[in-house]
Structures are given as C-alpha cells and as structure tokens.
A = this chain, B = another copy of it.
Amino acid sequence: MQFNIENSLGFLVNRTNKKMKNEFLQNLKPYDVTPEQWALLNRLWEEEGISSKELAELTCKDQPNIARILDKLEKKELIFRRPNPSDNRSFLLYLTDRGRELEEKLIPLALSTLEKALEGIEKEQVEELKLLLNRIYANLE
C-alpha cells in the first residue's frame, strides 16, 4: 500500500490554505484584525443589520465560532449587537464608525495579498481553480 502524502491533494490544499491565511494575517497585523475577523467585517460592509445566524451561513462558519469572533470584534469596538425587534432570542449586527472606516484600508489589502498569491497565473487558470475547488466542496456536501 502506497500513499505519497507530499503529492496528496489534502496535504496541498491544507498547506496552501495555511500559507495564504498567514500571508494575509501578516498584512492585517497593523490593523489588529485576523483573516477570520476580516471575513465577518467584509459581510457587514456589504450589509449591516443581519443576525449571527445569517452571518454564520454567509461565511460557512458555525455559530459558536461566530459568537466568539463577534465578541472579539465587539471588544475592539468595530461592531456592536442590537436587540432584534422581531425576535427576542436574537440580535442584529452593526458596524461602529471605526469598523466602517476600515473597509477603505482592508479591501485593498485583501486584493494585494491575492495579487501576490496569484502572480504569474493566467486568469482562466484561476477560474478553473475556483471551479475545481467548488466541485470538490460540492462532492462532500
């Protein structure tokens, strides 16, 4: 029985994911935000006033993790929770001014990180790559 892990897809996806995340983390450091915190902020830059549950679905994270990441963002005063008038179990999420202002800095940062990662790779190949990643994801759903 053979299993060449060096060349195994699981190993390569994991390794590349760690590298990309870490590269982004380093770039984000001056702003005291992590890639996961960035991902939540990114959704709120698109639309405020959503619930923790909606955020979990949008970001493909589970609710306990969302709750804890939100705690951190709230401590940093980048977001705040407000009671949900139509459901007393729930609350809605809003950006503070500081949280809103970060968009202008952090989106270009994400784009330039991605640009570095994709240097020298053709646009069609990147699209092909995304298709394959989505296909794998769908195969395991």
Contacts and interface: CB of A to CB of B under 8 A. Distances in A.
- Total copies of this chain within the assembly: 2
Contact of A12 (B15, B108, B110, B134): B134
Contacts of A128: 125, 128, 132
Interface stretch (A70-78, A79-87, A88-96, A112-120): A112-120
A126 interface: yes
Interface residues of A, number: 54
Contacts of A14: 17, 20-21
Interface of A: 1-3, 5, 7-21, 23-24, 35, 39, 42-43, 60, 103-104, 107-108, 110-111, 113-114, 116-121, 125-126, 128-130, 132-137, 139-141
